[in-house]
């Protein structure tokens, strides 16, 4: 795929479909596991991000339902980066390139900056616990809005457990017999859980500091990157927030100190969540189960990424450590070991 030709075709489509004069595009550097191509757009009227969806399993209907959910969240006062409408009122547009039709969406720039751009330093004079509280509060607001979201007929987003089953079938090597057994047992446990509007719905699916900006004037978080959004238990989202918080303790060598610090961080997340939404103790007791689910998802997605990009999976030290954690039921993603 010629990068220059691709950008030229995309620019032509944007000029045709949007009232944005003098558009220039700069492709952003991808990251391991990335699902899309993303460009920074600058015009005389707007600065935005353009996301090209290149995965065949994410068709136009899936994108339209993603956008519909984001707009519902925005209307429910959940802080999210919203899509920009084209001249004819469309939110998903496409262009032809090398006999393929490529879909794209243009999103507003979320206010603020990412933690990584600030060297993982929070607002001067403010405790990091405030940020974790705000994360939990935003997740709770999202789940509240999800409770009354009605999907468009025939355009419902994917079910995350079903998606995991497909990844097991397509990407888990046959020699990992014990891992497959553990995954199948885990899915059976999940499928036995209660499903109700209070416990299950459409979630973001990838809550971490790479997918939100922070307004450094007031700490407000704006969430983006909903292309992994799907249906699952709300506890999955909280377990994913737990996973994303590991970076704050990863360089602590004392396992007991790591455990204590992670529990403190998660308590602040829960305080924020409970400030806007009820969370029963019976649901919270499921955290270890959903941390294993998050672990499964991360492992399988890495196998998928390596298979698609490298053509094979080479089990390096990191992957073998993940296999050990899974096979031996080491909890909390191995962080406490």
Whether residue 190 is found in the same domain as residue 330: yes
Per-position pLDDT tens, the chain of length 337: 587 889 999 999 999 999 998 899 999 986 555 568 999 999 988 899 999 988 777 889 999 999 999 999 999 999 999 999 999 999 999 999 888 899 999 999 999 999 999 999 999 999 999 999 999 999 999 999 999 999 988 788 999 999 999 999 999 999 999 999 999 999 999 999 999 999 999 999 999 999 999 999 999 999 999 999 999 999 999 999 999 999 999 899 999 999 999 999 999 999 999 999 999 999 999 999 999 999 999 999 999 999 988 998 999 999 999 999 999 999 888 888 7
Whether residue 143 is found in the same domain as residue 20: no
What pLDDT is attached to residue 334? 86
> CA 19 to CA 85: how far, in whole Å?
10
Digit-coded pLDDT (tens) for 171-209: 999 999 999 999 999 999 999 999 999 999 999 999 999
Residue at which a domain ends, from 108, 136, 155: 108
| Run of H or E residues at 221 | strand 221-223
Look up the domain containing 21 and give its range.
3-108
What pLDDT is attached to residue 258? 93
Whether residue 239 is found in the same domain as residue 262: yes
Whether residue 73 is found in the same domain as residue 134: no
Q: Is the sign of the CA dihedral 197, 198, 200, 206 positive or negative?
A: positive
Residue at which a domain ends, from 82, 108, 134: 108
Whether residue 300 is found in the same domain as residue 234: yes
- Is residue 36 within 8 Å of 52, Cβ to Cβ? yes
| Residue 56 CB neighbours (<10 A) | 7
Q: Is the sign of the CA dihedral 181, 186, 187, 188 positive or negative?
A: positive
Whether residue 122 is found in the same domain as residue 92: no
What are the b/e assignments for 176-197, b being 16+ CB within 10 Å? beebbebbeebbeebeebeeee
Residue at which a domain ends, from 46, 77, 108: 108
Question: What global pTM score does this model have?
Answer: 0.94
Whether residue 98 is found in the same domain as residue 147: no
CATH number of the domain residue 226 falls in = 3.90.1200.10
Domain total in the chain: 2
Whether residue 188 is found in the same domain as residue 69: no
Whether residue 10 is found in the same domain as residue 95: yes
Whether residue 187 is found in the same domain as residue 223: yes
Whether residue 315 is found in the same domain as residue 330: yes
CATH number of the domain residue 76 falls in = 3.30.200.20
Q: Is the sign of the CA dihedral 332, 246, 231, 140 positive or negative?
A: positive
Whether residue 79 is found in the same domain as residue 186: no
> CA 133 to CA 271: how far, in whole Å?
6
Count how many residues are written for the chain.
337
Classify residue 140 as exposed, middle or buried by CB count within 10 Å of its CB (0-12, 13-18, 19+): buried
């Amino acid at each position: 795929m010629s990068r220059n030709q691709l950008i030229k075709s995309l620019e032509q489509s944007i000029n045709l479909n949007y009232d944005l004069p003098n558009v220039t595009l700069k492709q952003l550097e991808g990251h391991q596991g990335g699902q899309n191509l993303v460009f920074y757009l600058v015009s005389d009227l707007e600065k935005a991000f353009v996301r090209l969806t290149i995965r065949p399993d994410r068709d136009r209907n899936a994108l339209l339902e993603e956008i519909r959910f984001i707009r519902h969240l925005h209307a429910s006062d959940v802080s999210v980066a919203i899509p920009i409408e084209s001249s004819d009122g469309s939110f998903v547009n496409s262009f032809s390139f090398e006999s393929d039709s490529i879909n794209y969406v243009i999103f507003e720039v979320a206010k603020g900056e990412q933690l990584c751009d600030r060297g993982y330093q929070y607002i001067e004079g403010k405790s990091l616990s405030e940020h974790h509280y705000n994360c939990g509060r935003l997740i709770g607001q999202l789940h509240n809005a999800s409770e009354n979201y009605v999907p468009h007929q025939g355009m419902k987003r994917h079910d995350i457990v079903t998606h995991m089953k497909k990844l097991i079938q397509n990407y888990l090597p046959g020699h990992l017999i014990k891992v497959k057994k553990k995954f199948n047992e885990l899915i059976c446990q999940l499928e036995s859980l209660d499903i109700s509007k209070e416990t299950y719905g459409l979630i973001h699916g990838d809550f971490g500091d790479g997918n939100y900006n922070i307004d450094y004037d007031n700490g407000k978080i704006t969430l983006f990157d909903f292309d992994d959004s799907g249906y699952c238990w709300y506890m999955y989202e909280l377990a994913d927030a737990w996973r994303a918080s590991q970076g704050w303790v990863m360089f602590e060598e004392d396992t007991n100190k790591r455990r204590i610090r992670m529990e403190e961080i998660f308590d602040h997340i829960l305080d924020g969540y409970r400030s806007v939404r009820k969370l029963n103790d019976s649901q919270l007791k499921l955290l270890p189960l959903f941390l294993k689910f998050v672990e499964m998802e991360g492992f399988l997605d890495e196998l998928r990424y390596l298979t698609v990009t490298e053509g094979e999976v080479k089990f390096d030290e990191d992957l073998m450590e993940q296999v050990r954690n899974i096979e031996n039921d080491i909890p909390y993603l191995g962080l406490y070991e």
